[in-house]
Structure 1
Amino acid sequence: MSTKIVPRRSEERGHADHGWLHTFHSFSFASYADGSHEQFGCLRVINEDRVEAHTGFGAHPHREFEIFSYVVDGEISHHDSMGNEEILKRGDVQMTSAGTGIRHSEHAHGGNQVHFLQIWAMPYQRGLKPQYYNRTFTDEAKTNKLATIVAPATAPGVTDTREGSGPTPIHAQLYMHASIISSATTITHTFPKPANASSSATKAYIHVIQKSGYNPGPAKGGKVTVSADGQEVVLSEGDGAYISSEVGKELKIENVGDRVVEFVLFDVDAA
């Protein structure tokens, strides 16, 4: 199987400016519907949100999704029906395993806009008991290397507790890595063996965080090349890419621009 890298350009994402919320949708979400971008394996939502100060999402319900937030800049005030109250800041990863049902709210905390990724995955089992997790990953832990920040709850090194060290638990066949990569630096990643051991096929999705600001037009800012098995694609801030490959092959991400780039990378089972 040869590697295939298909770019998902920033300006092709769904987007909306509600005044208090400036958002992009990599996959179909809310009023944005695109049958060719519904999900990728168990990965169902990647929303890049900017919420203005003193505003936010009021209490609303969820069920049967693994929902997590990756804070890029600013702070989020989180409240939920499980009794969790948290102020999330840059470097924090907050996971809500909605299971049979929860309600939560999120607001920009303090006097500044908050910029974060909201990500949903479909669980490997329905009817789970709702749970909440919080982990922190420093910039140092992500600089010029891949830090594994989310991993299946059953994976080695994962502690299935509300707080702790190591990756944030998720009840889905998904790993999430994050990196802050300097100019002229290359990071490599070997595609892991999927949980479905009968298959050598695997999938990944990369998203380059749009730190240059809310811009519905063509991507700008930092640039990386993503290459594997003779395939190469250039991605700018806000761009993403679908990647299909085989276990053991190597993916390279090189910063070819003039500024630091932050990105997230998901390993998703092909099955």
Structure 2
Amino acid sequence: MIELRKADQRGRGEHGWLSSRHTFSFANYYDPKQIGFSDLLVINDDRVAQARGFGKHPHRDMEIFSYVLEGALEHKDSMGNGSVIVPGDVQLMSAGTGVTHSEFNHSANEPVHFLQIWIAPNVKGAQPRYAQKNFSEAEKQGKLRLVLSPDGAEDSLEIRQDARVYAGRFDGAESAKLAIGADRFAYVHVARGSVSVNGVAFGEGDGARIRNERELTFSQGDDAEVLVFDLRNMESSEFWS
């Protein structure tokens, strides 16, 4: 079953320098029907004005990753990391016992468009850690590239949860299939463009909870870029219970 949620149903946050769309409840946006899905808690679709950003702030016990679509995002944190994240990069910060960080638009002239995504970890109080890796367009074009996994499989980044995240790009006649275990859920988010998933049309910003589907087929893409989350079979995370 594919439970489609259209882009215009997401929460909105307009702050002048920041235009944000919230897939799940976050900050001032609250919807009791949208409190994450399995261990996936946050998908924020953020556009940040030039030379602006999120000042230093703390996190703990959360797996946080950023996926840049356009522009460049500058990162600094209390672990001593400093980097610039560009399209193709996946940045993963495991907050563990606690970390402070800031994220700013690296450009003085162009906006940055990126996704910030939170996944509940499977352990509390772990040592904070940071990783960043570039996945080329060729690795994702017409296929689904594993970018996050619990064991670092296929040279993906290692996340502290039984979750796998795939990134793919689809255009024209390109297609790909992804097997989903019988005891697993999935979530699909279309970052840009449009694509068909098992015959269901998705547009930019659309997402879907997916249950009881053993295989997902991506086809009929029009400059589509997608993220696919392979998740535990549970409606909401047990982490905070």
* TM-score (structure 1 length as normaliser): 0.83
SS of the residue 1:11 aligns to: helix
Q: In 2, distance between residues paired with 1:156 and 1:98?
A: 18
Unpaired segments ≥5 residues, structure 1: 159-165, 193-199, 211-221
The one-character-per-residue Cα deviations of 1:89-114 (angstroms, maximum 9, x if unpaired) are 11111111001111000000022111
Residue 168 (str. 1) matches residue 157 (str. 2): yes
Residue 268 (str. 1) matches residue 226 (str. 2): no
Q: Which amino acid aligns with 1:22?
A: S
Q: In 2, distance between residues paired with 1:73 and 1:168?
A: 21
Report the alpha carbon displacement of residue 201 of structure 1 after superposing the two structures with TM.
1.8
Residue 140 (str. 1) matches residue 138 (str. 2): yes
Report the alpha carbon displacement of residue 156 of structure 1 after superposing the two structures with TM.
5.9
Answer yes or no: is the 8 Å Cα contact 2:152–2:158 preserved in 1. Answer: no
For 1:120, the equivalent position in structure 2 comes to 118
Cα 1:156–1:82 change in 2 (3 A) is closer
Answer yes or no: is the 8 Å Cα contact 2:66–2:115 preserved in 1. Answer: yes
Report the alpha carbon displacement of residue 184 of structure 1 after superposing the two structures with TM.
2.9
Q: Which amino acid aligns with 1:250?
A: E
Report the alpha carbon displacement of residue 250 of structure 1 after superposing the two structures with TM.
1.7
The one-character-per-residue Cα deviations of 1:95-137 (angstroms, maximum 9, x if unpaired) are 1100111100000002211111100000001111111111110
- Choose which of 187, 210, 224 in structure 2 pairs with 1:243: 210
Mapping 1:16-31, distance limit 5 Å: 16-31=13-28
Answer yes or no: is the 8 Å Cα contact 2:53–2:104 preserved in 1. Answer: yes
SS of the residue 2:122 aligns to: coil
- Choose which of 34, 50, 65 in structure 2 pairs with 1:68: 65
For 1:197, the equivalent position in structure 2 comes to none
* TM-score (structure 2 length as normaliser): 0.93
Report the alpha carbon displacement of residue 233 of structure 1 after superposing the two structures with TM.
2.1
Identity of aligned residues (%): 41
The one-character-per-residue Cα deviations of 1:34-75 (angstroms, maximum 9, x if unpaired) are 111101111000001111111000000001100010111110
Q: How many residues align?
A: 233
Q: In 2, distance between residues paired with 1:58 and 1:101?
A: 16
Greater strand share, structure number: 2
Cα 1:156–1:16 change in 2 (3 A) is closer
Q: In 2, distance between residues paired with 1:82 and 1:148?
A: 26
